[in-house]
Structure 1
Amino acid sequence: IKIALNGEWNQRAQLLAEQQSLGEYILAKLEKVKSDRSKTYCVSILAVLGMLSVVLERARTAHREGKEYGGNFMIYGEAEFRQEEQENLIRMRVELVSQYNRHNQVILDKIEQQQSDQIEVEKLRHDIADFKGIISRTGAVIQTIKAGGIAVVNANQDVPKDISYNEMINMKGILLALPEFALYMNGKLLWKRNQTQPLQQTQQQSSQSSTSQILPQTKQELKPFPVWAHLCLQLNMESDQRFAKFFIGPDLGELVGVGVSGLPDEIKVVVLSSGALKAFQAFNTQRVGDAITSLVQWSDLNEEK
């Protein structure tokens, strides 16, 4: 028995050493790779190895020194807080990404003290470059079981800090919402993910799925959802159509089958979550993903009653 125990501990020690060595290798690789996809792969592997905090700390340190770490993205929000369960009300932390002059500097608001009967919320506000004439991506990592999502609204639209779930899905604009992985526009359901499919899908497969087209799935294909959901919004404002499309997955592997075209010039992006949240943005990027065959006009928003 003693020999067996010693062997088990040796195997565990060897496994820990291999994980540490792999983590150091991926950290070194992250500083060298250039493409967004490669950076996403590296960060995802480090997160699995429990080293995401190392990446975040290095990114913050580099940002304070006016440098970049790991590429041209900026991690701008991270907060974890408790939530009081109240009937028909979900406390949401809203990260507002406003359109401003592209030469404005990033401004961080300090933590606002909430009323004594409310939870403390860390609020970070960023005045950043506007979206006009460029391709940009906004990504968010949100707990899969929590309510939240990424939305595009008019620049002059006020989004309250505390909103209910129904208020969130009925806001004026477009929203990719959790936990049901559904796309809403002005409160109208445009697309909903087939929940029996694994989260990792090819772009061709995801573009064919919709609420009305649910393909039969075998038991072997059913997989539990991961703890963290990766959502991404790509805005193509250099095109005359000015359209938005959404992706699901850490490597942008699943393309939401419906996009929205004819976006107004003055818009802002809002990231919402009732739980922990991490988000990033990239500007002047290259367009990724296949062309969307199903497009809905933003002008339809004004026709909804």
Structure 2
Amino acid sequence: MTQLYYRPLVQSGPRPEGALPLTGGPLWFDRVEVLSRDGARFAPVTDLPEDWQRRLCRPRPALAGLSMDVPRVMGILNVTPDSFSDGGAHDAPEAAQAHVRAMIAAGADMIDVGGESTRPGAAEVAVADEIARTAPVIEAIAPLGCPVSIDTRKAEVGRAAAQAGAALINDVSGFAHDPALADVAATFGLPVCVMHMRATPADMHVDPHYDNALLEVYDELAARIDAVEAAGIPRARILADPGIGFAKTAQHNIEILNRLSLFHGLGCPILLGVSRKRFIGTIGGAAQARDRAPGSIAVALAGLAQGVQMLRVHDVAETVQAVRLWQAVQTGQIASQG
């Protein structure tokens, strides 16, 4: 039997009669694209199966104290010497704290702390070294009032981060690298971000192949979310990340981004991380990662238009400004920033 997938064709503005709310928020849809391995067609929402309608429409609960009914910005703090974009810029404690304070002042809703580069070709970092890089920083910045997430694949790093005050665990391997990390999250009652990736950062970039990138990534991410849920983490505490740039070519990235709203069918808020990635430079003509903010913001806003709830970014001030303008245009109202 052919498996069918239902992608909402997301719209904004006043919701007409008969249209359905996307994840309980202000965006809506009255048509869907029905996808399969055999092709695609369009259909009215009256054709939606009940389980898909429930997953697409139900409101997303708050995560780490943040409501999911407005776009959220996660600021990146890499305390590493070798991250692809800003390696070595914030690995000293004083520089890390100063950068966090600047991101919070610029409007970041969450800070994501990483102590191991996951750029293509990166080598694995020893657990003790990763803890030494991340736990003291988390302990120092957690009292600043902005939720902190730990970007790690390892259970012991996650445990140390949780003890230091982390409010979310973000695993690029989808909790496949070290399944005990999901147990840590369940023990501490922390929400998680489950990302799609094949292989490891060291080799994920070597000739990635998909027959249908969109549907294969959806299925594989759904399987990882099911595994995390089985480990004791309710779906209400799970963010889903399609893993743009991880084991994907530029063409794969674009195919997924073009139909990104399909991932609402997972029943979780969507996190989108495209900031400064290689395909931004390839398509936008920006060889240096630091010059990719305009392209990163363009893709981020396209994601918001498909209902993405959280953006993971390097350029917080620029992204927050863009999001506020996007919201004003979409709603026709200027929101208070107080």
TM-score (norm 2): 0.27
Q: Which has the larger radius of gyration?
A: 1
Higher relative contact order (CA 8 A, sep 6+): 1
Identify, as 1 or 2, the structure richer in helix. Answer: 2
